[in-house]
Amino acid sequence: MLPLIFTAGWASGINAYAVVFLLGLFGRIGWTDDVPPGLQRADVLVAAGVLFLIEAVADKIPYLDSFWDAVHTVVRPASGAVVSALIAGQDDSLPALFAAAVGGTTALASHIVKAGTRMAVNTSPEPVTNIALSTAEDLGVGGILTLAMFFPVLAAVIAAVLLAIGLWVVYACASRIRRYLRRRRERREARRTGEAAALE
């Protein structure tokens, strides 16, 4: 179970709704017995599918994607922890608490990569890069989760390599990320100054 838990945690940090939807769908069509029944429920699949479509749009719009990431700083790691604990519940040999820690921590790390990379991209806001990056993330999550159904160890190795590369990219782009945060802070200060002047 551990390779699947790690992969699901990594994917949750990028797109938690896609993970819930795809795992539930895979379990429902019989590709795997490792998906808990709770994720296979019709209402869960519909809700996750709708939220995934909303994220698919929001994630491709400059600046809105970073706002969306900020909102999901808690959602993605929490989702990774819950999904991992549910998966571990299918196997009595792996404690749910340990699985939740692995999934949640991995989701947090991949969320940092996603959010940091997007901040770096938004220092030169134009939609082409955002759309390309978001599409690559969606395809990567879908492809690696699908691979995990048949070759969980290979999928986990690929996810680990991508996570390591992503963390290095965020480190390498630290100056661009700081520039984005500085610009955002300046815009907020300008907006507050404008609002104060309007009140006077």
Q: Return per-residue pLDDT of the chain as tens, 200 residues.
A: 889 999 999 999 999 999 999 999 998 888 888 788 888 999 999 999 999 999 999 888 888 888 898 899 999 999 999 999 988 876 666 788 898 999 999 999 999 999 888 888 877 767 788 888 889 999 999 999 999 999 999 999 999 999 999 999 888 888 877 777 777 776 767 666 665 555 55
Q: How far is the C-alpha of 115 from the C-alpha of 127, rounded, in Å?
A: 16
- Model pLDDT, residue 91: 66
DSSP character string of 80-111: HHHHHHHHHTT-TTS-HHHHHHHHHHHHHHHH
Token pair belonging to 89: 């519940």
Give the number of other CB atoms < 10 A from CB of residue 158.
Answer: 18
The whole-angstrom distance between residue 88's C-alpha and the CA centroid of its chain comes to 20
Q: Where are the alpha helices (DSSP H) in the chain?
A: 2-28, 37-40, 42-58, 64-71, 75-88, 96-121, 127-150, 152-172, 174-199
- Model pLDDT, residue 176: 78
- Among 13, 18, 15, which residue's Cα sits nearest to residue 110? 13
- Model pLDDT, residue 44: 92
- Model pLDDT, residue 171: 87
Q: 58 lies in which domain range?
A: 2-199
- Model pLDDT, residue 5: 93
- Model pLDDT, residue 191: 66
How many structural domains are present in the chain?
Answer: 1
- Model pLDDT, residue 125: 66
